[in-house]
Amino acid sequence: MKTVEKTPINTNSRSSMFRKLREGLKKSGNKFKLSPSLRITDNDIAPEILQEIEAQLLSCDVGLAATNEILGNLISRQSKTRISSPEQLRIALREDLIKILTPVQLPMELSPDKTFVILMVGTNGAGKTTTVGKLAKYFLSQNLKVMLAAGDTFRAAAIEQLHDWGKRNSVPVISQHQGADSASVIYDALVSARARGIDILLADTAGRLHNQEHLMEELKKIIRVIRKLDEHAPHEIMLVLDAGIGQNGLLQAEEFKDAVGVTGLTLTKLDGTAKGGLIFALAKKLGLPIRYIGIGESSDDLQPFLATEFVDALLETEST
């Protein structure tokens, strides 16, 4: 199996990603800052400390289930290892946060001899089309052949935007006129991609709310149609989520997963006002692989998700 690398290409890009993510998360104003004056005894973590941690976790959109797990782990650790300082508490918290996210840090495994189809889904404004363009550049950097499919036929601007990304990255784009059948566009794109020996076909789709049943049925139709060519396609159904919408993102992810079988997530706009904690809620509740995170507007600012780097940015510590 070909595997898409789960780490950035080099050490410099990894360090740059950490800096951008840390600066982005600062904008939310929600950081974990444990006061040195907090009272920690050899026998117990003071209730006010747990209350402070709980408040900070919830304010960062970590969610109730993940927050309760983290607090329970801290109490359990205290009974075994005797946390006796804010620094020890921070180390313990860091380890527990990383533990939640590590299972969802998973790279995609590509088919060794056929076109790998990634169907991009999500709501309006989440950044699907932009993510398609950024992913195209990322996959090209992995020495993979890429094609784009303009499956968002509702908006002429979306088709034009995808063609712009195609020109920018020098990759082919398959499209039809505005209002064309989206399933037909993506079907034709897969036929073309297979004929050209393309490694990855990135298929854009129109934005839709999770409760718009007729539009969710359209996604199901797309999947049915392309499976006439490849029974395993799409090989990845990637839900693009705006990280700034907080716990609403968890609801969206649940509904899209139930409707079309989402297999991976990309979280965008973490450089804005996003609180970042949604990732923990998603990991705890759904366990879906988090493939990529968006940390800026440039084409290089979409990076593979790295659990340790993300937690360190949230805690404002350096990776070790």
Mean pLDDT for 237-252 is 89
Closest by alpha carbon to 132, among 114, 108, 154, 151? 151
Q: How far apart are CA 262 and CA 256, in angstroms?
A: 6
Does 196 reside within a domain? yes
Domain end among 56, 79, 103? 103
Q: How far apart are CA 85 and CA 96, in angstroms?
A: 17
Cα dihedral: 294, 318, 3, 243 (round 10): -20
User: Same domain, yes or no, for 46 and 170?
Assistant: no
pLDDT above 90 covers what percent of the chain?
A: 45
| pLDDT for residue 9 | 41
Mean pLDDT for 128-136 is 94
Quick check: 238 and 119 in contact, CB under 8 A? yes
How many domains does the chain contain in total? Answer: 2
User: Same domain, yes or no, for 26 and 84?
Assistant: yes
User: Same domain, yes or no, for 283 and 146?
Assistant: yes
Domain limits for position 122: 107-310
Quick check: 269 and 243 in contact, CB under 8 A? yes
| pLDDT for residue 136 | 95
Specify the range with the lowest mean pLDDT, choosing from 57-66, 76-85, 92-101, 147-156.
Answer: 76-85
Is 0.85 surpassed by the pTM of this model? Answer: yes
Average pLDDT over all residues of the chain: 84
User: Same domain, yes or no, for 225 and 275?
Assistant: yes
Mean pLDDT for 218-241 is 95
| pLDDT for residue 62 | 84
User: Same domain, yes or no, for 112 and 63?
Assistant: no
36 preceded by a cis bond (ω within 30 of 0): no
Q: Give the model confidence (pLDDT) of 9-19 as tens digits.
A: 444 555 666 67
Domain end among 103, 124, 150? 103
DSSP 50-91: HHHHHHHHHHTT--HHHHHHHHHHHHHHHHHH---SHHHHHH
The residue type found at 134 is K
Does 160 reside within a domain? yes
User: Same domain, yes or no, for 169 and 23?
Assistant: no
Quick check: 149 and 201 in contact, CB under 8 A? yes
| pLDDT for residue 155 | 85
Does 83 reside within a domain? yes
* CATH classification at residue 117: 3.40.50.300
Task: Pick from 24-33, 85-94, 215-224, 230-239 the range whose average pLDDT is largest.
Answer: 230-239
Does 320 reside within a domain? no
Closest by alpha carbon to 302, among 149, 168, 97, 136? 136
CA atoms within 13 A on the CB side of 234: 31
Domain end among 72, 103, 134? 103
Q: State both tokens at 254.
A: 């649940």
| pLDDT for residue 3 | 57
Kindly provide the residue ranges of all beta strands, DSSP E only, lying in 190-316, ordered along the sequence: 200-205, 236-242, 264-268, 290-294, 302-304
Quick check: 304 and 238 in contact, CB under 8 A? no
pLDDT above 70 covers what percent of the chain?
A: 83
Q: Is 310 exposed, middle or buried (0-12, 13-18, 19+ CB in 10 A)?
A: buried
User: Same domain, yes or no, for 121 and 164?
Assistant: yes
User: Same domain, yes or no, for 95 and 229?
Assistant: no
Checking if the pLDDT of 274 tops 60, the result is: no
Q: Give the model confidence (pLDDT) of 188-203 as tens digits.
A: 999 999 999 999 999 9
Specify the range with the lowest mean pLDDT, choosing from 28-42, 44-58, 194-208, 245-259.
Answer: 28-42
